Amino acid sequence: MQDTEQTLPKINDVSDDFAELRKNDAIYVDKTAFVHKLVSDRNSNIVFVSRPRRFGKSLTVSLLKNLFNGRRELFKGLAIEKTDWKWLKHPVIYFRFNELTTISVEEFAADFESYVIGQLQDAGFACDTNLSCWQNFGKAIDFLAEKSRRDARERPDEFGEGVVILIDEYDAPVGHALADVEKAEKIRDRMSSLYAQMKSRTGDIRFLFMTGVSKFTKLSVFSALSNIKDVSLLDSYATMFGYTEEELGEYFEPHMRVHAAKMGLSYEDYRAEMKRWYNGFRFARNVETTVYNPISVAYTLKNMEPHFTATWATTGRPSMLMNYLRREDLLSIDYEKMEEVPGAAFDVADLRNLTATALLFQAGYLTIKGYDADADDYTLGVPDEEVRRDLATLIAGVAADKTDVWAANLGKALLHANWPKFFVGLKSLYAHLPYGPTEESIQEFSFERVLYTLLASQGVEVVAEDRQADGRADIVAKHKKGIYVFELKVGEPVDEAFTQIREKGYADPYRASGKPIWLIGLSFDRESRKLVDCAARPYEA
């Protein structure tokens, strides 16, 4: 099998440099048909797209840079090579703002100034050191546009008119600073000065492509460029980022067959399980096709672990989300199904009134599950198993002000049936929860959310409201070490939980599993909202 793995095509899991990827003969899932559609539309030459991190945005920006540099050799065999694209060279101004420092406004200003000047010089413009970086940006557009017109007149078969501007992660510095809204606003205002330079120069721009995770509508780029085309949720670009089921099979089947064999699964079962873990992102109102996160596919097929794991989470959570969630009560949201969400909830206008829904959607923790055209609203939910587990870990840690290590220890206590330790930790968890004024009536579901996130964060398959012939078990957790049937009661003794489990036969469907089955009753006080009694009993048929 090792020899087989060595002969497989290379998988790109690190580089977002299109030229490097092509030169190394690594797999590139061809998205150039979408790119050709974008760059060929002269009526909509200013484009914005929002996608979660690690979805191929930076690779696409790098591709566009090489495309407008006329590097046809890098596109051999790709869809765009078969089109009428002219392969003309344009001056390209390229910004990537993800790595700028935001420790303080002053340090950001210095880093921003230096970076912008450097990128303008790389584009072929000699900056005036007596002017600010945004003033130089404006003059660079003027200079490079005029140069492009002159070159196009002299060599029309080689050069095209107009400047190409590529802005990757335009929103990153603002997102990095969200823990301090005043600082974030100052950074936003400084960046707005740069973007404002394009307002009176749209005639000199051949193509502008801007990517980000969030849409901060008060950044001047959105008000200055009234003709900006946001393709983030357009049906025609639903699968431009991420891999469809068909693309996965076309480009990665040899890798998946090797991996399936290593895991001891049939190819069909392997594909079904991989889809459950990594495919579920939907980026359009009316197109129901879902896609895989590219980095999840790359890490999974390159590492060839004997099991599926949460790979996207290992690349780090977005600082924008983490900075905000430190002061947000997340437990009032049912992440598996959020209904009647207006489209306006996806944009971020006021940094002082952010919503968890908007940030979780933009960061990729929520995705579109349905769209009601009549009401113009959305149903959202968690994309896949990988995201579900990472979201559960995130919520459990933020809500209880605990670390992942603490949650992991609690999970181990459950799986080893160490009930004294598990119940002590569970009581501590519920005692720390900041139930807010929106929860006027505490029901069982209020407590189920907490338990669900805790269990899911520990790699346990969790089913909430497990539908059965005689009713619905509150929570059933499944693991190779056992089956755990939870029944929660509010204002009732814990014995009532066991009575209901037995009478309704909630554990009966799992008798054939051959695993230990535990029945767990939890009783909460309605007024104090604390876990006041709990017990675990082995299942007896």
- State the CB neighbour count (10 A cutoff) for residue 31: 22
Task: Give residues with Cβ within 8 angstroms of 369, minimum separation 6.
Answer: 282, 337, 378, 379, 380, 381
Give the global pTM. 0.82
Question: Are 68 and 157 members of one domain?
Answer: yes
Residue 171 phi, psi dihedral angles, 5° rounding: -100, 0
- 393 occurs within a structural domain: no
Token pair in block for residue 531: 């876990």
441-491: per-residue pLDDT in tens? Answer: 455 666 787 788 778 777 788 887 666 656 678 899 998 889 999 999 998
Question: Are 277 and 174 members of one domain?
Answer: no
Closest CA to 482 of 520, 458, 516: 516
- 96 occurs within a structural domain: yes
Question: Are 222 and 84 members of one domain?
Answer: yes
- 475 occurs within a structural domain: yes
Instruction: For tokens 């005029």, name the residue.
Output: 146
Using the 3D structure, point to which of 281, 299, 315 is the last residue of a domain.
315
- 396 occurs within a structural domain: no
Residue 354 pLDDT exceeds 90: no
Question: Are 261 and 185 members of one domain?
Answer: no
CA-based Rg of the chain, rounded to a whole angstrom?
26
Mean pLDDT on 341-356: 77
Question: Are 250 and 362 members of one domain?
Answer: no
Using the 3D structure, point to which of 315, 342, 360 is the last residue of a domain.
315
Rounded Cα distance between 91 and 353, Å, is 40
CB 104 within 8 A of CB 183: yes
Q: Could you tell me if residue 492 is left (phi over 0), alpha (psi between -120 and 50 degrees) or otherwise beta?
A: beta
| Torsion angle of the four alpha carbons 529, 535, 540, 541, in this order, in degrees rounded to the nearest 10 | 0
Report the mean per-residue pLDDT for the chain.
87
Question: Are 473 and 345 members of one domain?
Answer: no
- 173 occurs within a structural domain: yes
For the chain, the domain total comes to 4
- 25 occurs within a structural domain: no
Q: Where are the alpha helices (DSSP H) in 240-384?
A: 245-263, 267-278, 294-303, 319-325, 356-363
- 98 occurs within a structural domain: yes
Using the 3D structure, point to which of 232, 264, 290 is the last residue of a domain.
232
Question: Are 219 and 345 members of one domain?
Answer: no
Domain that holds residue 379: 319-385
Question: Are 349 and 432 members of one domain?
Answer: no
Distances (CA, A) of 208 to 230, 262, 348, 503, 511: 12, 45, 22, 65, 61
pLDDT value at residue 519: 95
Alpha-carbon 232 to chain mean position: 13
CATH number of the domain at 516, please: 3.40.1350
Q: Where are the alpha helices (DSSP H) in 353-418?
A: 356-363, 385-400, 404-415
Question: Are 418 and 517 members of one domain?
Answer: yes
pLDDT value at residue 444: 60
69-117: per-residue pLDDT in tens? Answer: 999 999 999 999 999 999 999 999 999 998 899 999 999 999 999 999 9
Question: Are 416 and 493 members of one domain?
Answer: yes
- 391 occurs within a structural domain: no
